Amino acid sequence: MSGGLTRLPLADGLTRARSLAEAEIRAALAHNETPVAEAMRYAATGGKGLRAFLVLESARLHGIEPQIAAPVAGAIEALHAYSLVHDDLPCMDDDALRRGQPTVHIKWDEATAVLAGDALQSLAFGLIAAAECPPEARIGLVQSLSDAAGVAGMVGGQAADIAAESAATPLTLPEIEALQAGKTGALITWSAMAGPRIAGADPAPLRHYGEALGRAFQIADDILDVEGSEQAVGKAVGKDAAAGKATFVSLLGLEPARTCAAALVEEACEALAPYGRDGETLRDAARFVIARRS
């Protein structure tokens, strides 16, 4: 299916994805030296690049060259960065550290952080609109990203997470699963489906892969909040337990949560069966999300 495009090892693929996505964002902000633009560049630099990687690798599986998919990879990283900038604000999670660096509202101020996040969200859709892929693919990507990022996806999940902090009773496991499917899973699933959407191919296998991967990713995050160090994770840890939040770990227990994450990784890997050995780097990515330390 990949049309002969070279499959990179995971580490190289992540590095390339980060580089291409950040280059797209920098190019869009070239010659803009305002504080908001500088905060946007700062917020969109230094992450794992997992979502951008999923875009590029799912595109490769469908014969789409990296330069065609790069604006879409930049778009998802811009939108992800917006979500982190707003998530860190005092009215949300009130975090002072992100990726081992001061959060945007700490380095600048709250108003700049709000505006930088708003502008990163707008930039995401602009990057997709300018991508050199068929018009129907661009429309599909814009519409599906709007859904994934909105009240039925990431924003809705974040709202549910905030509401849960003051709820009379902790959330149940099905409620946590639904919350995290929006807050964390929606953008991961969108990223995995971007390649077939660009190519006009069946997205079902990568939808299944992305949904399982998103759940495993969130469980791994919950485990890191218990076991990780601030230095390794790059942000404050132990906040969920301190706030009394229901998480996969608090509801399942640490070892059962780890077992559940491993089962989800296997499910994600099995969803790639239609791609044969060509899906091996995506399988490596699934294993990576539960082995990472940040």
- In which element (H, E) is residue 11 found? helix 10-28
Does 2 fall in a domain?
no
Among 9, 87, 26, 81, residue whose Cα is nearest residue 49: 81
Does 1 fall in a domain?
no
Question: pLDDT tens digits for 10-45?
Answer: 999 999 999 999 999 999 999 999 999 999 999 999
pTM equals 0.96
pLDDT of residue 166: 87
Cα 66 to Cα 58, 71, 98, 222, 286, distances in angstroms? 10, 9, 28, 33, 21
Does 23 fall in a domain?
yes
By the 10 Å C-beta count (0-12 exposed, 13-18 middle, 19+ buried), 142 is classed as middle
Report which DSSP code applies to 95. Answer: -
Question: pLDDT tens digits for 144-171?
Answer: 999 999 999 999 999 999 999 888 888 9
Does 244 fall in a domain?
yes
Based on the structure, what is the number of domains in the chain?
1
Cα 89 to Cα 107, 112, 158, distances in angstroms? 12, 11, 13
CATH of the domain at 133: 1.10.600.10
Question: pLDDT tens digits for 130-139?
Answer: 999 999 999 9
Does 93 fall in a domain?
yes
CB 77 within 8 A of CB 22: yes
The tokens for 96 are: 């002072």
pLDDT of residue 3: 67
Report which DSSP code applies to 150. Answer: S
Does 263 fall in a domain?
yes
pLDDT of residue 250: 92
Does 237 fall in a domain?
yes
CB 290 within 8 A of CB 219: yes
- Domain span at 101: 10-291
